[in-house]
Amino acid sequence: MSYDYRLVVACPDQVGIVAKVSAFIAAHSGSIIEASQHSDLTSESFFMRYEVRFEQPQSQAQLSEAFRPIAESFEMEWRWQDTLQKRRVAILVSRQSHCLVDLLYRWATNELNCEIACVIANHEDLRSLVEWHGLEYHYIPVTAAERDSAFTRIEQIIEARAVDTIVLARYMQILPSWFCERYQGRTINIHHSFLPSFAGARPYHQAFERGVKLIGATCHYVTDELDAGPIIEQDIQRVTHCHTPDDLVRLGSDVEKSVLARGVRWHLQDRILIQGNKTVVFA
């Protein structure tokens, strides 16, 4: 039972949605304390995110059952989410530590309102850092020949720890298609380029060879197609002819950290709605 819920809605656009939803909330003694909505005129789709405080504690099941007739009448994809229920996050890493360290700091200082269920890595390099934070560290090496068995082990850990969100913090292994499908819309990656430029491995070296004047980072949901999933957040950093590849790596790491942190925070707050291979972000 909770007083505070988020309502997230996506449906075909039509007259009367806001009126019906707000009347439902008022009839259940709720106050809308944050309201976001978007009508996509091209696809004729409607997106909504309300934060609601009820005068009496509600159960998610009862609230959902009462709302279901309205949802069905508008062909909604929808969810009432208990605002106080923390998401359970697994972070996947390889050898690069900067994004992991940044996420752990933001978690430890309560900026990221979640539980970190565990860290899963394909190298042992970051074990001491993770265990210093009192967190579980699972070393699961991945080879091309045994990729499926390695990710089956990862899946077992994720299910055993009731993980609902997976964050790839510079995890340098390609996830098998069955894994992407199973955790679609719940697996977030930080790619160290301004996609769609320089997808794949070693983007900073690709950027150096191309002589770009801007580098960047992209936070996106993971799909089977490499670095092509729905983009959540991006940012850039100006560079010049004076910068070496190592300079680009250094300058880019600051952008990666901030872009990933915003993407993860918005996901944890149910601020992201996926529309095909794009997102609507109520930041």
Ligand X SMILES: Nc1nc2c(c(=O)[nH]1)N[C@@H](CN(C=O)c1ccc(C(=O)N[C@@H](CCC(=O)O)C(=O)O)cc1)CN2
> Nearest Cα to 93, choosing from 130, 67, 144, 64?
130
- Quote the least distance from Cβ 188 to ligand X, whole Å: 10
Beta-carbon contacts of residue 29 (< 8 Å; ≥ 6 apart) = 54, 55, 56
Q: Is 196 in the site for ligand X (CB under 6 A)?
A: no
Q: Total binding residues for ligand X by CB under 6 A?
A: 17
Cβ nearer to ligand X, comparing 69 with 200 = 200
Tell me which of 40, 82, 227, 247 is the catalytic residue. Answer: 227
Active site residue 148: no
CA distances from 35 to 49, 50, 53, 271, 273 (A): 6, 5, 12, 11, 14
Q: Is 175 in the site for ligand X (CB under 6 A)?
A: yes
Which residue is it, tokens 């993770």? 130
Q: Is 168 in the site for ligand X (CB under 6 A)?
A: yes
Beta-carbon contacts of residue 110 (< 8 Å; ≥ 6 apart) = none
Sequence letter at residue 213: K
Q: Indicate the SS3 state at residue 228.
A: coil
Cβ nearer to ligand X, comparing 87 with 192 = 192
- Quote the least distance from Cβ 94 to ligand X, whole Å: 7
Cβ nearer to ligand X, comparing 107 with 171 = 171
- Quote the least distance from Cβ 170 to ligand X, whole Å: 7
The site string for ligand X over 224-253 (x = CB under 6 A, - otherwise) reads: x-xx-x------------------------
Which bin fits 72, alpha (ψ -120 to 50), beta or left (φ > 0)?
alpha
> Nearest Cα to 38, choosing from 22, 17, 59?
17
Candidate list 32, 66, 157, 172; residue touching ligand X; CB under 6 A: 172
The site string for ligand X over 127-166 (x = CB under 6 A, - otherwise) reads: -----------------x----------------------
Let me know: does 265 contact 112? Beta carbons within 8 Å: yes
Candidate list 49, 191, 243, 257; residue touching ligand X; CB under 6 A: 191
Distance between alpha carbon 255 and the CA centroid of its chain, in Å?
Answer: 17
Which bin fits 200, alpha (ψ -120 to 50), beta or left (φ > 0)?
left
Q: Is 174 in the site for ligand X (CB under 6 A)?
A: yes
| Of residues 15-74, those binding ligand X (CB under 6 A) | none
Candidate list 107, 171, 183, 266; residue touching ligand X; CB under 6 A: 171
Question: CB burial class (10 A; 0-12, 13-18, 19+) of residue 207?
Answer: buried
Stretch that binds ligand X, among 8-16, 75-83, 126-134, 223-231 (CB under 6 A): 223-231
User: Which sequence positions are flagged as catalytic?
Assistant: 227
Binding site for ligand X (CB under 6 A): 144, 168, 171-175, 180, 189, 191, 200-201, 222, 224, 226-227, 229
